[in-house]
Amino acid sequence: MGRIGAAVAKRALGFNMKILYNDIRKIEAGLVDILRAEFMSLKDLLANSDFVTLHVPLTPETRHLIGREELRRMKKTAFLINASRGPVVDEKALAEALQKGLIAGAGLDVFEWEPKVSPELMAMDNVVMVPHIGSATFATREAMSLTATKNIIAVLKGEVPPNILNPEIYR
Structure confidence at residue 126 (pLDDT): 96
- Active-site entry in 70, 85, 91, 112: 85
Stated length of the chain: 171
Structure confidence at residue 134 (pLDDT): 62
Structure confidence at residue 132 (pLDDT): 66
- Active-site entry in 38, 114, 142, 159: 114
Local structure of residue 65 (DSSP, 8 states): S
Tell me, yes or no, if 132 is annotated catalytic: yes
Structure confidence at residue 27 (pLDDT): 75
Tell me, yes or no, if 85 is annotated catalytic: yes
Structure confidence at residue 160 (pLDDT): 86
Sign of the torsion formed by the C-alpha atoms of 114, 87, 131 and 148: negative
Provide the 3-class DSSP secondary structure of residue 38. Answer: strand
Provide the 3-class DSSP secondary structure of residue 54. Answer: strand
Structure confidence at residue 60 (pLDDT): 95
Cα separation, 57 vs 59, in Å, equals 6
Structure confidence at residue 135 (pLDDT): 64
C-beta separation of 79 from 71 below 8 A:
no
In this prediction the pTM is: 0.77
Per-residue pLDDT of the chain (171 residues; tens, 9 = 90+): 788 888 899 999 999 999 999 987 777 778 888 888 899 999 999 999 999 999 999 999 999 999 999 999 999 999 999 999 999 999 999 999 999 999 999 999 999 998 888 999 999 999 999 876 666 678 877 888 898 999 899 989 988 888 887 777 776
